[in-house]
Structure 1
């Protein structure tokens, strides 16, 4: 076996060893770069949003980034202004001009994005190498997507929530400890909120109209979530009729505004057969010193308050504690006391 073949196999092993999309993006760029030499590579990962996409852009210069929030994003409309990307998306085949090649990333009709390579030399031979990595990338993207998503709603599942929450907390803590003034400034401006959402009287809906109709309600709620929340907010199906949203907002007012806008959209939506459905929510501000289980527990207490005080409303955990409506647990030697 030739040295080139061994090198290619080593790169394939590296690529197939990753378990999340950002790591996959980065390792594919590095693998192709090492094999092609001087080529300049950009990977545009598509993320569905409402009826379109936006793209997280991984480049050779940010392959050490650990968090998607550090990366540049582009809209579908922005990419489609480039004739090469427009033709690539329309034809679903590699497109090239004098200086660039663009490959579509897709499998089974699912659009995963594009790989753009500048200054590619010896095109016929090198394009074959990229073709192989494109196929590997799409296969792995499909498997990762299947593992991360809830099969009914298409939102992230509970297993993915655990990983994303830990990643978010680590990122925020790293920014806060950053040696540069800019890093500390970014940490001070960045705030996250965890909202736990529950469909009111969902058991009655299931018992009255059947589980198939209950599933239709869940799907409709998830579509409204994708439409009303922003691209920077992360959406999860937590289990049953419960959903979680991680909201990226600078202020409490913004976080509550985003949540209430969604609540109102559900209330105003006409559901076939049943007509009107409402949701209740509890939200808490992310404290970097709290484990993720504690944060979800705080949101759950706020949700319980909403459901026991009329439903169809949003309750804020820190506000409830401040006004004595919810007791804040005490901690003593890592033991939670009530």
Structure 2
């Protein structure tokens, strides 16, 4: 089968590799669409994989074409797949926190991913996609679950003023999740004007570009957030998440940090003076596995209560190899969610 494989730092090869066979409890999926996640960029550009060669791809949809023993899914079932493979043995798994598994595997980083014609997945990881939902949209379920998990880390209430720092894929998915959740006002902060326009299109009430507007002045005039979501993983926005949180506000850190985060003493003291509630959000799973986040995301999309189509900014083929990665890495890139179309809708 055809697979796009990372063979070295910033090196892709479109290879012919053996098609895998499902074991007990597993299914073989013919991949329809697979998304490129921001976490895939360092896996490719920096060689951040556990070993070479590695097939990336953990946001995907497809059709079951073969099943192992002890599997209820029928051949021909349309599925979206949760990529985490928890050990189900450690204390975190046994206490209902698979996202904190101590010995997990992960489709697309620790085992073969979906940037290939076929991929293996545990049957319990598969969500049945109704025929009314395009497989293209089903491939966006995974990043939507990350946003839902972040929103559900805190208790929201009607009328909350939400500040979302970062208008990348997860930031925009957070806007969609917050709007579906029914909060009052959503303010999005980002440096990219195109992404801010997209944020408004999908439900943000206000958008702010720090290159054009002083944020301290803006929030002094418009009021601080009662709930704040840091989705950029930037050392600057991680400090801003505290600065622009109101008294008794809740702050959720979703973005993965890549630089040291430095607070001035008076900035850190805001956590105390305002009695802020800070929490982290890691991946998108809960018990029973894969979690309510996955069923909620599928339900939102199937019912049309959330529409991720505006976030899909590019569709490529495996023959394009690194092109979507390069597009995503461009300065002021307009790309949000890019997909490889492999089997597509008609298979």
Q: TM-score range by the shorter chain?
A: under 0.3
Point out which structure has higher relative CO (alpha carbons under 8 A, 6+ apart). 2
Higher helix share: 1
Higher Rg of the two aligned structures: 1
Question: TM-score, structure 1 length as denominator?
Answer: 0.28
Question: TM-score, structure 2 length as denominator?
Answer: 0.27
